[in-house]
């Protein structure tokens, strides 16, 4: 099995909702459906003026617990956008596109082509 089997990376743009129109492009962002939130370098979020809102705890695969700040951004990908909570990643943390962002954009992972594709109509309750 190769080390990158099943993984792929994408390019995203993020925007501070308090500063509409000022976007930052992030390349080589790892798509990680095992992570709930997306992780962006703290220095990028700070340079954009993104406000730190909450601290959250995260359990890593080896069982260790991390505590990180989160803040709200607008995520742009493939002509779609969604407001989402992002983690202020510290040096050594991975830059990730997590499952909540993927679902918020109404996308799904196509494992054969290693792409994010439209998830189709979202479920809704009948009236």
Q: Which pLDDT value is given to residue 1? A: 43
In the chain, domain spans? 10-117
Return the structure tokens found at 99. 């499952």
E strands, 7-123, are 9-15, 23-32, 38-41, 54-59, 65-77, 80-89, 96-98, 107-110, 115-118
- 49-90 pLDDT, tens digit each: 999 999 999 998 899 999 999 999 999 999 999 999 999 999
Q: Can you name the CATH fold of 10-117?
A: Cathepsin D, subunit A; domain 1 (2.40.70)
pLDDT at 5 over 50: yes
Residues 12 and 31: their CA atoms lie apart, in Å, by 11
User: Whole-prediction pTM value?
Assistant: 0.90
pLDDT band at 122 (very low <50, low <70, confident <90, very high): confident
Asked if residue 31 lies in contact with residue 91, where contact means CB atoms within 8 angstroms, the answer is no
């Amino acid at each position: 099995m190769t080390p990158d089997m099943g993984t792929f990376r994408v390019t995203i743009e993020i925007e501070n909702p308090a500063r509409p129109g000022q976007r930052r492009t992030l390349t080589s962002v790892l798509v990680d459906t095992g992570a709930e939130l997306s992780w962006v370098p703290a220095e990028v979020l700070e340079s954009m003026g993104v406000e730190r809102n909450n601290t959250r705890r995260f359990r890593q695969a080896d069982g260790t617990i991390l505590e990180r700040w989160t803040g709200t951004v607008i995520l742009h990908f493939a002509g779609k956008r969604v407001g989402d909570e992002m983690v202020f990643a510290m040096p050594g943390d991975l830059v990730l596109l997590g499952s909540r962002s993927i679902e918020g954009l109404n996308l799904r992972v196509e494992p054969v082509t290693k792409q994010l594709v439209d998830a189709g109509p979202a479920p809704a309750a009948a009236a």
